Amino acid sequence: MAGQVCFPPLVIRDDSLRCFVRIGAGGFGQIYRAKHTEWGMDVAIKLLLYKDGSASSIQREANLMFQGGNPNVIRIFGLYEGRVGEPLPPQSGLVMELMPKGSVAGLLQTLAAPPPWPLAFRMAHQIGLGMNFLHHLTPPLLHLDLKPSNVLLNDSLDAKASPARSRVPLDPHEHHDEPV
């Protein structure tokens, strides 16, 4: 768009965060809850494991997410650079909004049954809106791991797609399934 200004993602370091608590893990890496001291709020820190040692894919994902927000996609506040534990080497990740009610997978496990139809319909609609938003970014961001554990819930049980394995196509006509 003409006249649109894009700012680089904010870099958030350990001096702005305290009280790290590990709240999740997976093949992607680890998730921590931390208190942002300047903002006065809890945030989620998603640390990624890199096979090649580079953070280029996380930087591209964050840049795309900074194009604009959507209420059905986890909000990314910035990039994390720091050390969660002193003996660890420096790490990179995403600083995101914290979703206190966990994932749809956790909700299903807690309910031990399908959710009530109105809630299931609302969550399916919200997930569809989030995917539509990601696919209409320029370039599109393809979510390659949409599943109940990657859909997170806020206090009102609103569903939001979380950044997971994603891919920015190099060519709008290519259809490969390799993550960035």
pLDDT at 173 over 70: no
Q: Find out if CATH 3.30.200.20 is the number for domain 10-97.
A: yes
Planar angle of CA 120, 115, 75, nearest 5 degrees? 55
The C-alpha atoms of residue 163 and residue 174 are separated, in whole angstroms, by 21
* Cβ pair 104, 162 in contact under 8 A: no
The binding site consists of 46
The binding site for ATP consists of 46
Q: Which residues are marked as active site?
A: 145
For residue 48, how many other CB atoms are within 10 A of its CB?
A: 17
* pLDDT given for residue 142 in this prediction: 81
Encode pLDDT of 79-134 as tens digits.
Answer: 898 888 666 678 888 899 999 999 999 999 999 999 999 999 999 999 999 999 88
The C-alpha atoms of residue 66 and residue 54 are separated, in whole angstroms, by 20
Strands 76-82, 10-13: pairing is parallel
* pLDDT given for residue 1 in this prediction: 42
* pLDDT given for residue 10 in this prediction: 85
| Domain spans in the chain, listed from the N-terminal domain onward | 10-97, 104-167
Which CATH class name applies to 104-167?
mainly alpha
Give the predicted TM-score (pTM) of the model.
0.78
* pLDDT given for residue 180 in this prediction: 38
Note whether 10-97 and 104-167 share their fold.
Answer: no
